Amino acid sequence: MNIKELHPANKEVSAVSIFKGTGEGTIALQIKANQELKEHVSKVPALLLCIDGEVVFENEKGLKETLFPGDYINIESMVKHWVKGIDDSQLILIK
Protein backbone atom coordinates (compact mmCIF):
# COMPACT_ATOMS: atom_id res chain seq x y z
CA MET A 1 0.00 0.00 0.00
CA ASN A 2 1.17 3.53 -0.76
CA ILE A 3 0.33 6.62 1.29
CA LYS A 4 -0.77 8.51 -1.83
CA GLU A 5 -3.45 5.87 -2.48
CA LEU A 6 -5.21 6.67 0.81
CA HIS A 7 -6.57 10.04 -0.32
CA PRO A 8 -9.04 11.06 -3.02
CA ALA A 9 -7.10 12.71 -5.85
CA ASN A 10 -9.57 15.59 -6.08
CA LYS A 11 -9.58 16.44 -2.35
CA GLU A 12 -7.48 19.49 -1.45
CA VAL A 13 -6.92 18.54 2.21
CA SER A 14 -7.48 15.01 3.45
CA ALA A 15 -6.81 13.15 6.71
CA VAL A 16 -7.03 9.36 7.07
CA SER A 17 -6.33 7.39 10.24
CA ILE A 18 -3.77 4.68 9.42
CA PHE A 19 -2.86 3.28 12.85
CA LYS A 20 -4.47 3.22 16.27
CA GLY A 21 -2.21 2.01 19.06
CA THR A 22 -2.39 2.87 22.74
CA GLY A 23 -2.00 6.60 22.04
CA GLU A 24 -4.14 8.97 20.01
CA GLY A 25 -3.17 7.40 16.68
CA THR A 26 -1.33 8.00 13.42
CA ILE A 27 -2.88 9.98 10.58
CA ALA A 28 -1.88 10.28 6.92
CA LEU A 29 -2.40 13.83 5.68
CA GLN A 30 -2.57 15.13 2.14
CA ILE A 31 -2.33 18.86 1.47
CA LYS A 32 -2.43 20.00 -2.14
CA ALA A 33 -0.35 22.92 -3.44
CA ASN A 34 -1.67 26.32 -2.33
CA GLN A 35 -4.13 24.74 0.12
CA GLU A 36 -4.12 24.98 3.89
CA LEU A 37 -4.89 22.77 6.85
CA LYS A 38 -6.76 25.46 8.78
CA GLU A 39 -5.78 26.78 12.18
CA HIS A 40 -6.47 24.31 14.97
CA VAL A 41 -5.18 23.06 18.33
CA SER A 42 -3.95 19.61 19.31
CA LYS A 43 -4.89 18.49 22.83
CA VAL A 44 -1.76 16.33 23.01
CA PRO A 45 1.81 16.76 21.75
CA ALA A 46 2.31 15.45 18.22
CA LEU A 47 4.97 14.86 15.60
CA LEU A 48 4.45 15.92 11.97
CA LEU A 49 6.64 14.18 9.38
CA CYS A 50 6.83 15.29 5.74
CA ILE A 51 6.93 12.29 3.39
CA ASP A 52 6.58 14.02 0.01
CA GLY A 53 6.26 17.59 -1.24
CA GLU A 54 6.80 20.85 0.64
CA VAL A 55 4.73 22.51 3.37
CA VAL A 56 5.06 25.46 5.71
CA PHE A 57 4.13 24.87 9.36
CA GLU A 58 3.28 27.92 11.48
CA ASN A 59 2.01 28.44 14.99
CA GLU A 60 0.65 31.27 17.10
CA LYS A 61 4.00 31.65 18.86
CA GLY A 62 5.58 32.87 15.63
CA LEU A 63 7.29 29.62 14.68
CA LYS A 64 7.47 29.18 10.90
CA GLU A 65 9.23 26.12 9.43
CA THR A 66 9.38 24.81 5.89
CA LEU A 67 9.29 21.01 5.76
CA PHE A 68 10.67 18.94 2.89
CA PRO A 69 10.68 15.11 2.56
CA GLY A 70 12.25 13.61 5.67
CA ASP A 71 11.80 16.75 7.78
CA TYR A 72 9.67 16.68 10.91
CA ILE A 73 8.47 19.06 13.60
CA ASN A 74 7.21 18.57 17.13
CA ILE A 75 3.81 20.15 17.69
CA GLU A 76 3.10 21.53 21.14
CA SER A 77 -0.23 20.76 22.75
CA MET A 78 -2.77 23.58 23.11
CA VAL A 79 -0.92 25.89 20.66
CA LYS A 80 -2.80 27.06 17.56
CA HIS A 81 -1.08 25.98 14.37
CA TRP A 82 -1.75 25.55 10.64
CA VAL A 83 0.00 24.02 7.63
CA LYS A 84 0.12 25.36 4.07
CA GLY A 85 0.94 23.18 1.08
CA ILE A 86 3.57 24.69 -1.20
CA ASP A 87 3.60 21.59 -3.43
CA ASP A 88 1.21 18.63 -3.36
CA SER A 89 2.30 17.01 -0.11
CA GLN A 90 1.97 13.83 1.93
CA LEU A 91 2.57 13.90 5.69
CA ILE A 92 2.28 11.63 8.70
CA LEU A 93 0.94 12.96 12.00
CA ILE A 94 1.73 10.90 15.09
CA LYS A 95 -0.05 11.65 18.38
How many angstroms separate the CA atoms of 77 and 90, rounded? Answer: 22
3 pLDDT tier (thresholds 50, 70, 90)? confident
**Residue range 34-79, pLDDT digits in tens:** 999 999 999 999 999 999 999 999 999 999 999 999 999 999 999 9
pTM of this structure? 0.85
Do residues 48 and 73 lie in contact, with contact meaning Cβ atoms separated by under 8 Å? Answer: yes
Of 40, 44, 51, the closest CA to residue 7 belongs to 51
Delineate the domains of the chain, giving CATH numbers in brackets. Answer: 3-94 (2.60.120.10)
Model pLDDT, residue 2: 81
